[in-house]
Amino acid sequence: MLDQSPPAAPGFLANSSTRVRRHNRRVLLHALRVHGALSRAELARTTGLTPQAVANIVEDLIGAGLVREAGRRKSPRGQPPIAIEIAKEGGYAVGVRIDATHFHAVAADLSGELIEMGEGLAPAGTDSGWLEFVAGIQAGFAARFGAERCLGLGLVTPGPFDIEWPGVPTPGAIPALQRRGVADELAAMTGTDVFLENDATAAALGERLYGAARDLNDFFYVFIGEGVGGGIVIRGEPYRGSRGNAGEFGHLIVDPNGAQCYCGNRGCLGEYLSLRTMRRFIAEAVSSGETEAGALDAWITRGADALATGLANVENLFDPEVVILGGAAPAPFLSRLADSLGDLRASVRQDRGRDRLRVSNLGERSAALGASALPILWATTAGLRLDR
């Protein structure tokens, strides 16, 4: 049956126009974050927006207290241009990345600069205890920097959300936080907007804004921790899928007859690459008489082989500019793993050689930085809808 609905209803056009405005605001603010103060003309050249669009967006952002005029620059001729810069003091956002054992918490101003960062052990508590713990972190920042200036709380934790594997929880995850309803409950407890995201997607966002992906628009982020996840960024935007669970890289099957995974399948990448399986592998090898160093060498060789297969599949599926290795694993471990990959396997990106792979320079804080960016992006994009 043919679709006889109107080709362009007024509401659809209005929504499309709103999406364009939101995107343009985001493009402009990202340019200011990356390049610092720019004149209106420079913003137009940098972003590709028309001078009139830039003028309108700048006026809106000044009115919202998110950018400001930084004075005139010296010019060899003509009227000196007025520089526009992000108003750092316009507000701050809190980001919390937490798993079953550790947490990282940051407060960042509107420019993305860190105001404060902390980390520690996660509590072993009840479901309500987890919520109270996160609310307590938010309350501490609010007491130090002012509750009225807080743009919101970004909470990131291992996913997936609202999914139950066959009787086994996701390694490192906190079941009490693996549901979307947590955002509303925390918002009621803290009195601020709460944005929920999985840690791999948040880490990819952190790299996009502050790390190894600042110059990239299409990339894939590999998060190695107690489990293995993936963050997908397409045209500068995180891709979340229909229910926000896209990027479960650890459940990419690299050997159908391989090790049993907690998800119910066999040969999932996470069974060869996660820190959880690394510890198990080394413990079994040492108990059989091998040295710990030798066992680690063997595990990295096995893990690199499985990762090489996974990376080739991702590159052939998404054709990303770059793949970034990061997560909760220590930086020396990530570098060693990357070196063990050698020349990488053939894919549609093989023309770039080793340049198609980067190691994160943010480490574990990438996910927390991405978490703090969630409220900032919401506040600076005219009501952008995020998971809240």
Domain boundaries, the chain: 11-86, 90-203+366-379, 212-361
- CA 360, chain centre distance (Å): 12
What is the signed CA dihedral for 67, 73, 78, 81, rounded to 10 degrees? -10
pLDDT at 159: 84
Digit-coded pLDDT (tens) for 225-252: 888 999 999 988 889 888 888 999 999 9
**pLDDT band at residue 383 using 50, 70 and 90 as cut-offs:** very low
Q: How is residue 243 written in tokens?
A: 């229910």
Could you tell me the fold of the domain covering 11-86? Answer: Arc Repressor Mutant, subunit A (1.10.10)
pLDDT, average across residues 131-142? 94
The CATH homologous superfamily to which domain 90-203+366-379 belongs is ATPase, nucleotide binding domain (3.30.420.40)
What is the signed CA dihedral for 339, 340, 343, 349, rounded to 10 degrees? -80
Q: What are phi and psi of 361, to 5 degrees?
A: -105, 5
- 22/291 Cα distance (integer angstroms): 56
- Kindly report the average pLDDT of the chain as a whole number: 86
- 360/355 Cα distance (integer angstroms): 14
Q: Peptide bond preceding 171: is omega within 30 degrees of 0, i.e. cis? A: no
pLDDT at 75: 64
Fold match, 11-86 / 90-203+366-379 = no
Could you tell me the fold of the domain covering 212-361? Answer: Nucleotidyltransferase; domain 5 (3.30.420)
- 238/222 Cα distance (integer angstroms): 14
pLDDT, average across residues 142-165? 88
**pLDDT band at residue 382 using 50, 70 and 90 as cut-offs:** very low
pLDDT, average across residues 38-59? 94
pLDDT at 15: 59
pLDDT at 43: 95
pLDDT at 385: 45
Burial class (CB in 10 A: 0-12, 13-18, 19+), 332: exposed
pTM recorded for the entire structure: 0.76
Nearest to 183 by CA among 155, 150, 142, 148: 155
Nearest to 197 by CA among 219, 229, 222, 226: 229
Answer whether 197's CB lies under 8 Å from 98's CB: no
pLDDT at 386: 47
For residue 47, the one-letter residue type is T
Digit-coded pLDDT (tens) for 283-314: 999 999 999 999 999 999 999 999 999 999 99
In DSSP terms, 93 is beta-bridged to 108
In DSSP terms, 155 is beta-bridged to 96, 196
